[in-house]
Amino acid sequence: MQIIDGKAVSAAVRDRIKAEVLELKSKGKQTGLAVIIVGEDPASKVYVSNKKKGCEQVGINSFEYALPEETTTEELLTLIGELNNDDKVDGILCQLPLPKHIDEQTVINSIVPEKDVDAFHPTNTGHIMIGDYSFLPCTPAGIIEMLNFYNIEISGKECVVIGRSNIVGKPMAMLLLQNSGTVTVCHSKTADLSDVTKRADILVSAVGKANFVTAEMVKDGAVVIDVGMNRNAEGKLCGDVDFEAVKDKCSFITPVPGGVGPMTITMLLNNTLTASKNRIK
């Protein structure tokens, strides 16, 4: 069994991004990311702080907008409208989830597709569907990058994704399909889940429940990718996969922390660099 080291892959990709950001700077083009957070969700605060740190590391300017919980949809749309027209801003990221009274899809739709570094706008999701895109959603893109880094073949493999969210499950399935995997998407209504997961050569779990994926659900020699970010009973950060039980059964596995998480932020930085380069053109 080999542990997929998301930090090491991240470091390699970030070095390349840093060099490119610096080169743009030497030509007079600075790269900037606006990060919006609404409310006090503790997990979101950690993610946003890590995104800002990532920007700093590669020389991207970050502009944080921390708005109070009671912010209205209209106020948020006004801010995004300003950022859409701000030349210092190449990418706009609005951390999800938003407070319940704000209409999330309206907010996503208001970011111009050229600055939508999350690739959540329907225009960008449509581009991904037909395989012609500038930005890929960060988490699935980071997973493909890690698989490539470890020379893990996707073509012809049975790929099973657990979870069908717009952020991870659906775009993950699409990217695996584009890489010629045979893809099955499972979700809460799937009958006999472990019957399906046991077929997987590559198993991606994006469920959000600690110890959801047990050893019985995993085929011998499978590649296991854990997108979960959960707290266990002791309050420790953990993924969806029962790591200790599954690790000896698989060929590769991503740990939590240190697997998918760092790659997600790295791909955000990469999308911001792409947005910056596209705006020069």
Residues forming contacts to ligand GUN in the complex (CB under 6 A) are 93-96, 118, 138-139, 167, 264
Three-class SS of residue 170?
A: helix
Residue 166 CB, nearest approach to ligand GUN (Å): 10
Q: Residue 265, Cβ neighbours under 10 Å: how many?
A: 23
Catalytic member of 95, 219, 240, 242: 95
55-59, long-range: CB < 8 A, 24+ apart: 55/269, 55/272, 57/14, 57/18, 58/14, 58/17, 58/18, 58/21, 58/269, 58/273, 59/18, 59/21, 59/22, 59/25, 59/31
Catalytic member of 51, 157, 219, 247: 51
Residue 118 CB, nearest approach to ligand GUN (Å): 5
Q: Is 51 a residue of the active site? A: yes
Which residue number, 212 or 218, has a Cβ lying nearer to ligand GUN? 212
Residue 172 CB, nearest approach to ligand GUN (Å): 12
Cβ-Cβ contacts under 8 Å for 27 (sequence gap 6 or more): none
Which residue number, 161 or 217, has a Cβ lying nearer to ligand GUN? 161
Which residue number, 22 or 46, has a Cβ lying nearer to ligand GUN? 46
Q: Is 57 a residue of the active site? A: no
CA pair distance 125, 108, nearest whole angstrom: 12
Catalytic member of 118, 201, 226, 242: 118
Q: Is 242 a residue of the active site? A: no
| Cβ atoms of residues 92 and 275 within 8 Å | no
Which residue number, 264 or 276, has a Cβ lying nearer to ligand GUN? 264
Comparing every residue's Cβ against ligand GUN, the nearest one is: 96
> CA triplet 125, 240, 105: central angle to 5 degrees?
30
Three-class SS of residue 238?
A: strand
Residue 48 CB, nearest approach to ligand GUN (Å): 9
Task: Give the catalytic positions in this structure.
Answer: 51, 95, 118
